[in-house]
Structure 1
Amino acid sequence: MAAIRIRTCASRGRADGDWYSNPHSQRLEIGVGISNAISSIAKDFMIIINYE
C-alpha cells in the first residue's frame, strides 16, 4: 500500500543578495511546521501531496 505524505509550501519572490539591486525569481519554499503562509498574502499558500 502506498503512503501519502502532505506538506505545506509557499511560492515566494526571492533575490540572491540585496533585495533592491538583484534579479528576483519565484521559489517554492517547503515548510516544516503547520503552515507556511503569510497572513497578508492570501494566494501564496499551497500543499504538496507526495504518493510514496
Structure 2
Amino acid sequence: MLQGVTTIDDIEKNLILLTKKGLSGVIIGKAIYESRIKIKDLIMLESRI
C-alpha cells in the first residue's frame, strides 16, 4: 500500500477506534458524575443529622 493513501478500510478502522474511545470516555464521565451526586447526597444527609 502507498503511504499517504487512505482507504475506506483505514477510515472504518479509525472510526471504530474513535467510537470505542469515545464510548468509554462517556461511560467513565457518567460514572464520575453519578459518584459526585452520591457524594453530594451523603454530605447533605450528614449535615441534616
Shorter chain as denominator, the TM-score bin is under 0.3
Structure having the higher helix fraction is: 2
Q: TM-score, normalised by structure 2?
A: 0.20
Which one scores higher on RCO, CA 8 angstroms, separation ≥ 6?
1
Q: TM-score, normalised by structure 1?
A: 0.19
Structure having the higher strand fraction is: 1
Larger radius of gyration, structure 1 or 2? 2
